[in-house]
Amino acid sequence: MSDQLASAEVMPATAARGRLVLEARSLGKDFKLSHGWHRDTLSAVRGVSFGLYQSAVVALVGESGSGKSTVARMLAGQERPTAGEIALDGEVVQPWTHGQFRPYKSNVQMVFQDPFASLNAVHRVRYTLARPVRLHQHLRDRKAVEAELVRLVERVRLTPAQQFLAKYPHELSGGQRQRVAIARALAAQPRVLLADEPVSMLDVSIRLEVLDLLDELRSQFQLAVLYVTHDIASARYFADDTLVMYAGEIVERGPSEDVTQQPAHPYTQLLVASAPDPDNLAARIRPASSGEVRRAGSALSTTVGCRFAPRCPLAEDRCRAQAPPLLQLSAQRAAACWRLDVAAPDLLHQTQGEKEETIKT
Amino acid sequence: MSTVSCATSESMPSAEAAQQKPVLEVRDLSVVYDGDTRAVDHVDIALAPGETLGLAGESGSGKSTLALGLCRLVRPPAVITSGSVIYRGSRVAPGGVDLLELRSRELRKLRWREISIVFQSAMNALNPVLRIRDQLGDVLDAHLHLGRKEKRDRLDTLLDLVGIPRERLRSYPHELSGGMRQRVMIAMALAVDPEVVIMDEPTTALDVVVQREILAQIVELQDRLHFAVLFITHDLSLLLEIADRIAVMYAGKVVEVGSAEQIHNRPAHPYTQGLLRSFPSVHGARRELAGIPGTPPDLRSLPPGCPFVPRCSHATDKCRDIDMRIRPVPGSDPSHLSACPFVTPEMAKANTPKVKAATSKGTT
């Protein structure tokens, strides 16, 4: 419970951008596992709370298996949470129920990682886009639909529009396919865009253009964007706020620049340190100390204590016994770690300084 | 022989590497699909003993076809139409052998024994119904004649080498994590002590943290066993850290070759310059990202002359009738070669980016 309280106090930087649109309130997702007689529950997501604000980008960063895609799928209404709730414009919604699914989808759309798999190979681009236009914009007139299709395709910079509308997915490059997928999401005129690793399958030289396009759409349509990625460097450039997930829980949150440049949680520090650093050729990859054993964090519901403890260089007895709540570091930042005094002493001093000041005034 | 992978800050490695006789030398290699799609187009590269040569390029640039081509593993409709691949290992004749001229029986003896490959997707490269022990054992059986005890010892040593507990020999591939599977692939590649290891995107499917660990492992093993690595990846930022020298490929051609320092500090080809401006870095100050406009070329219909012309901000009419030979970059060390005769490293800074950087902060 305490983590909810603490995170509720964090005022995200994105809040300055616009109104709160979509909110995850301590979302959780358990998967039941069975190994023969033995039954286990895997909590893939636990107590995840954050808000998506108009014209702002929130990045959800984590390794594979950290639960970041599950969060996106729950927000997209494709997966039913086992705990917590989703609120759209302050009202609790249940998008998985029959009556609420389509109206919810008119507001919340998703772009998937693999543009090779997410477009139907037997349909032309025109068909792929016309369906959401008819369903969500309720356009019936053929000319109106056609005009809207051309507008959409041109909006994602696929010109000449008529030529692209007549193409099949296999005739498009990876970047062009992802643009079609983005156009399909825009066809519903959503207010929230959930992008699950939208550029990780694309070539390095075209990633930037697609991210750039998303950013442009964000400001033009005042979209609230959730950017799910494993690449913390792109989160730094693209997102206002960054949430770092580990084994199903948010371990650190704050403005992207602060989180990447002054990471507080030992896991974020490991992530940042592992990212390639081409500007520092002297600090190249050093040989591993051999015999190093690394255990992955467990997300089983029976796990006690901090889930990062088995990999954490700072772990002590307390970390293994009790899970740390999200502790507030500043008005905009929080991290879930008992050892912040060692992991990020500077940040903690700043916090205490601020608190003393507020007491004085 | 000292391996060069750790001596970094000086420009020594490349100079040293250039003087030694390359252990693997590819000359004028071409691989053609369907008679007219030139996936690898007159490529020359050389790999010095113990060196790490990075091969960077986008999907469809021909980097993987090149790797298959130099082991003669390309399958129809791909055909090797020209070139030679000279291998000069310590276990073959002093003058070296041309892998493309060998009879297939002789070639089979050399493959894996002398040149092994680590493939990108360990899940697909390992046999799902065989235990790790049997898969590693197969490699040993095929190339070495070991007794039972020797074989068992060798298997244990191999797993120790890549930091996997010995009891994992009993496991099936699906019981291992992605990182462990990749380590098994590396153990398998090193099983019979080859002198050249080709790594085709060995860490692309892995998380950054695991990627880092595996790369560190490769560097350490290379220090100990002195094999040369041809490291293929689309991630130039990774190569800048791990490779001694880097070759950049575009549309089947090598467009630039140089040491990691030269590529990073003085990129000469406009494509390399664009790539370096494309990826965000988590370290250091925020910088302007530019990307490369346009899309990668279709190999079936390449423009005449330089294939980068449609995406190049320096392009002029002269670019349409140049030959794509790589030549020394003016004002650089002679080991630094580029296929562009017009653009110099100095012009990288003067060039104005065409694509705006995706920074949401800037648009507030």
Q: Do B286 and A236 touch (CB under 8 A)?
A: yes
Q: B357: pLDDT confidence band, cut at 50, 70 and 90?
A: very low
- d(Cα A176, Cα B328) in Å, to the nearest integer? 36
pLDDT over threshold 80, residue B107: yes
pLDDT over threshold 60, residue B206: yes
Handedness of CA A70, A76, A82, A88 (dihedral sign): positive
**Does A160 sit behind a cis peptide bond, omega within 30 degrees of 0 on the bond before it?**
yes
Looking at chain B, the whole-number percentage of residues with pLDDT higher than 70 is 89
Please report the pLDDT score of residue B360 as a whole number: 38
Contact partners, residue B270, CB within 8 Å, separation at least 6: B308, B312, B313, B314, B340, B343, B351
Q: For residue B186, give how far its alpha carbon lies from the nearest alpha carbon of chain A (Å).
A: 15
Tokens of B33: 């699909």
Provide the number of structural domains found in chain A: 1
Please report the pLDDT score of residue B201 as a whole number: 87
Report chain B residues whose CB lies below 8 A from the CB of A280: 283-284
Structural domain for A89, as ranges:
2-274+300-360
The question of ipTM being above 0.90 is answered as no
What's the one-letter identity of residue A257?
E
Tokens of B70: 């130099």
Closest residue on chain B to A64 (Cα): B207
Report chain A residues whose CB lies below 8 A from the CB of B284: 277, 279-280
C-alpha angle B137-B141-B146 in degrees, rounded to nearest 5: 100
Per-residue pLDDT tens over the stretch B148-201 = 999 999 999 999 888 888 888 998 988 888 888 888 999 999 988 899 999 998
Report chain A residues whose CB lies below 8 A from the CB of B201: none
Q: Do B359 and A238 touch (CB under 8 A)?
A: yes
Tokens 């939208």 label which residue? Answer: A198
- d(Cα A325, Cα A355) in Å, to the nearest integer? 19
Contact partners, residue B44, CB within 8 Å, separation at least 6: B26, B27, B28, B29, B254, B326
Please report the pLDDT score of residue A287 as a whole number: 57
Burial class (CB in 10 A: 0-12, 13-18, 19+), B305: middle
Low-confidence ranges of chain A (pLDDT < 50): 1-8, 289-295, 358-361
Per-residue pLDDT tens over the stretch A253-304 = 999 999 999 999 999 999 998 888 777 665 566 655 443 444 455 666 667 8
**Does B77 sit behind a cis peptide bond, omega within 30 degrees of 0 on the bond before it?**
yes
Specify if A198 maps to a domain.
yes
Specify if A243 maps to a domain.
yes
Which run of H or of E encompasses A334?
A: strand A334-335
Q: Taking the CB of residue B93, how many other CB atoms lie within 10 A of it?
A: 8
Q: Taking the CB of residue B4, how many other CB atoms lie within 10 A of it?
A: 21
Asked whether the beta carbons of A183 and A175 are under 8 A apart, the reply is no
Q: Do A282 and B237 touch (CB under 8 A)?
A: no
Please report the pLDDT score of residue A293 as a whole number: 43
Please report the pLDDT score of residue A122 as a whole number: 93
Please report the pLDDT score of residue A281 as a whole number: 61
Q: For residue B312, give how far its alpha carbon lies from the nearest alpha carbon of chain A (Å).
A: 12
Please report the pLDDT score of residue A276 as a whole number: 82
Q: Could you say which of B58, B209, B358 has the minimum Cβ distance to residue A238?
A: B358
Closest residue on chain B to A208 (Cα): B291
Q: Do A277 and B241 touch (CB under 8 A)?
A: yes
- d(Cα B353, Cα B276) in Å, to the nearest integer? 12
Q: Domain holding A308: CATH number? A: 3.40.50.300
Specify if A294 maps to a domain.
no
Asked whether the beta carbons of A235 and A256 are under 8 A apart, the reply is yes
Tokens of B242: 């791990």
Q: What is the pTM of this model?
A: 0.83
Q: Do B209 and A63 touch (CB under 8 A)?
A: yes
Domain ranges of chain B: 115-193
The verdict on A14 touching B (C-beta cutoff 8 Å) is no
Report chain A residues whose CB lies below 8 A from the CB of B177: 296
Per-residue pLDDT tens over the stretch B228-240 = 999 999 888 889 9
C-alpha distances out from residue A24 to A185, A193, A313, A333, B294, Å: 21, 14, 31, 18, 38
- d(Cα B127, Cα B118) in Å, to the nearest integer? 14
pLDDT, average across residues B279-305: 83
pLDDT over threshold 50, residue B13: no
Q: Taking the CB of residue A350, how many other CB atoms lie within 10 A of it?
A: 15
Task: Work out whether strand A57-61 and strand A83-88 pair parallel, antiparallel, or are unpaired.
Answer: unpaired
Closest by Cα among B60, B75, B100, B69 to B252:
B60
Closest residue on chain A to B274 (Cα): A205
Q: Could you say which of B220, B282, B283 has the minimum Cβ distance to residue A288?
A: B220
Report chain B residues whose CB lies below 8 A from the CB of A271: 208-209
Phi, psi of B330 (to 5 degrees): -60, 135
CA end-to-end span of chain B, whole Å? 57
Please report the pLDDT score of residue B333 as a whole number: 87
Per-residue pLDDT tens over the stretch A8-22 = 456 777 777 788 999
Tokens 């020594």 label which residue? Answer: B12
